[in-house]
Amino acid sequence: MATNNNEKLPKIGMLYLDHVLRFFDKSNFRGWPDKIETVIYHWKNDKERFIREVKRKKIDILIGNIPATAYETFREIARALPEVEFIPSMDTQFSNKSKENVTRFAWKYDIPIPKTYVFYDKKKAEKFIAETEFPKIIKKSYGPSNYGGYFVHKVDSKQEAHNLLAQKKYHPAYFQDFVPMSADVRVMLIGHKPVCAFWRRPPEGEWLTNTSQGGSMDYMDVPKELLDLAVQVSKAANAEYWACDIAVGEDGQYRILECATAFAAFPYIRDWIGQYLMWKFSNGRFAKPNIPLYNWEELGKMDASVLRTLRYITFGKYTPSYDGAYFLDKKVRQTEEGQFYLHELDKMYPILTTIDRTTEEWASEKWNFQDNYGKSIRKVHVKSNPPKEAVQEVIAEDKTEEMLEQTETITNNKKQKPLLSKKKMRKILTSVEGISKKKSKKILKKFSLLDLEETLDNSPKTLVDELPWFKKKMLKQLKSIWDDFKEKLEKKD
């Protein structure tokens, strides 16, 4: 592949939200030569300021997962920033918002799911209950905390269904046929290639496959045909990275239960995603990661505590004579189409680029049923937003979540508060030669406290760019005062 070493790289920004677990951080983009910006959404009326900050920082690509409660706001933000590429795109993240959205996505692309019924009209829901057969599953479609199975109920009769909805007031009423299943499989993909997969089995006599209820997980022998379904779904979503939960029914059928770009993943998987994205953005300057199919069967033999700390795993390319590739060479796989060597199978799952689109597939005017048709219920709107606790990664439930809880890089869910009061910040500012009280006020008018602290930490030059009167000399002095202050603070901790 031709390399374009002189070509200018796009400017990358990390998209974070207060109270939300961070899926990526800069360390996942190891080797990216340019500064990576950070933009933090603070909820509550922060839309305009957020847009201004992205423009000011001249960001070309904003990377990050949007939690359900901010999804509609970010569709608006993305519209206001047509030059900025969101990764994953808002269309790709459509399924992150709600179970209803997953269902609509699956309906559009003919993706097998348990038969699903969605009602915004209470009367229609009651009529459905009166006429349908049981057991059924009832789920809460939308909510900031989707803990595995907590809002998923099995109802065995009309009366139970009626009582449950009367009590829980789920809106919309979301029903599924109950699918007897032996297990489900979580598959993670990068560039439409499966990079990790594991079984989750329910405890004896239970129907929920969530391992937090005492079920088990293992990495062995995930069928090729199940991986094929995951690839199909990832392609339909045009997803740079993706996870699906696929139910394996007692009838032998595969059905999608959940899919999203937000999921719990070991740090080395997030490194791979970073590498993949650097490859995508750099026009071949960075190498495409080589991630052998079924690598998880080998890595999965390690203890979770080891997997949690491993970083930057790389594999050699397969060559028949190359010892390092032994695990690709040594096994044969049984599939419905016959036997394959692992390296043959590996070739059937190339890492692919996603398609850059400029049109909106899931425009809110049409697809935001919740706000368009759900007017009778409480609207979860930007202004009422800030969630009390950290918003969970959408399908980050059970063991996976437990495993990741101790992962340093993503547990950055502390509430972002400024370190200083306005008064103290003004004192620092005015201690710089040439910054008067009036000028310090001007600075704090342009930047919020939090913004200013972040700017001083990461991109102090912004002050010179943004304020015509701000001299380089002032910056030097201010930066040194700020660094001293931070150093003292760290010593105190």
Ligand X SMILES: Nc1ncnc2c1ncn2[C@@H]1O[C@H](COP(=O)(O)OP(=O)(O)O)[C@@H](O)[C@H]1O
Residues of this chain that bind ligand X (CB under 6 A): 114, 137, 139, 146, 148-152, 176, 178-179, 181, 184, 207-210, 245, 257-258, 397
283's CB contacts (< 8 A; 6+ apart) are: 4, 7
> Which of Mg ion, ligand X, none sits in contact with 453, Cβ below 5 to 8 A by type?
none
> Which of Mg ion, ligand X, none sits in contact with 207, Cβ below 5 to 8 A by type?
ligand X
By the 8 A CB rule, do 427 and 40 touch?
no
> Which of ligand X, Mg ion, none sits in contact with 72, Cβ below 5 to 8 A by type?
none
> Which of Mg ion, ligand X, none sits in contact with 184, Cβ below 5 to 8 A by type?
ligand X
483's CB contacts (< 8 A; 6+ apart) are: none
> What does the block give as tokens for 107?
């309906």
Instruction: Taking each helix axis as running N to C, give the angle between helix 449-458 and helix 437-446, from 0 to 180 degrees, rounded to the nearest 10.
Output: 90
Q: Closest approach of Cβ 477 to ligand X, in Å?
A: 52
Q: Closest approach of Cβ 35 to ligand X, in Å?
A: 37
Our CA dihedral for 420, 426, 429, 432, rounded to 10 degrees, sits at -130
> Which of Mg ion, ligand X, none sits in contact with 374, Cβ below 5 to 8 A by type?
none
Q: What is the largest CA-CA distance in the chain?
A: 78
> Which of Mg ion, ligand X, none sits in contact with 46, Cβ below 5 to 8 A by type?
none
> Which of ligand X, Mg ion, none sits in contact with 172, Cβ below 5 to 8 A by type?
none
> What does the block give as tokens for 245?
């939960």
Distance CA 474, CA 434 (A): 7
Q: Closest approach of Cβ 101 to ligand X, in Å?
A: 13
Q: Compare residues 207 and 315 and give the one whose CB is closer to ligand X.
A: 207
Q: Enumerate residues 120-179 that contact Mg ion by CB under 5 A.
A: 148
> Which of ligand X, Mg ion, none sits in contact with 81, Cβ below 5 to 8 A by type?
none
120's CB contacts (< 8 A; 6+ apart) are: 171, 172, 369, 373, 374
Q: Is 171 helix (H, G, I), strand (E, B) or coil?
A: coil
Q: Compare residues 260 and 278 and give the one whose CB is closer to Mg ion.
A: 260
176's CB contacts (< 8 A; 6+ apart) are: 113, 114, 115, 116, 117, 136, 137, 138, 139
- What does the per-residue mask of binding to Mg ion show for 255-284, with x meaning CB under 5 A? ---x--------------------------
> What does the block give as tokens for 325?
């590739």
Q: Closest approach of Cβ 60 to ligand X, in Å?
A: 34
Q: Is 240 helix (H, G, I), strand (E, B) or coil?
A: coil
Q: Closest approach of Cβ 168 to ligand X, in Å?
A: 14
Q: Closest approach of Cβ 230 to Mg ion, in Å?
A: 15
Q: Closest approach of Cβ 224 to ligand X, in Å?
A: 22
> Which of ligand X, Mg ion, none sits in contact with 114, Cβ below 5 to 8 A by type?
ligand X
CB atoms < 10 A from the CB of 89, how many? 22
Among residues 14, 68, 20, 15, which one has the least CA distance to residue 416?
A: 20
Q: Compare residues 32 and 207 and give the one whose CB is closer to ligand X.
A: 207
Q: Closest approach of Cβ 394 to Mg ion, in Å?
A: 9
Opening angle at CA 106, ends 262 and 17, nearest 5: 20
Q: Compare residues 95 and 275 and give the one whose CB is closer to ligand X.
A: 95
Q: Compare residues 149 and 284 and give the one whose CB is closer to Mg ion.
A: 149
Q: Compare residues 128 and 207 and give the one whose CB is closer to ligand X.
A: 207
Q: Closest approach of Cβ 214 to ligand X, in Å?
A: 13
Q: Compare residues 85 and 397 and give the one whose CB is closer to Mg ion.
A: 397
DSSP for 122-152, please give it. Answer: HHHHHHHHHHS-S-EEEE----S---TTTTE
Q: Compare residues 149 and 203 and give the one whose CB is closer to ligand X.
A: 149
State the residues that interact with Mg ion by CB under 5 A: 148, 258
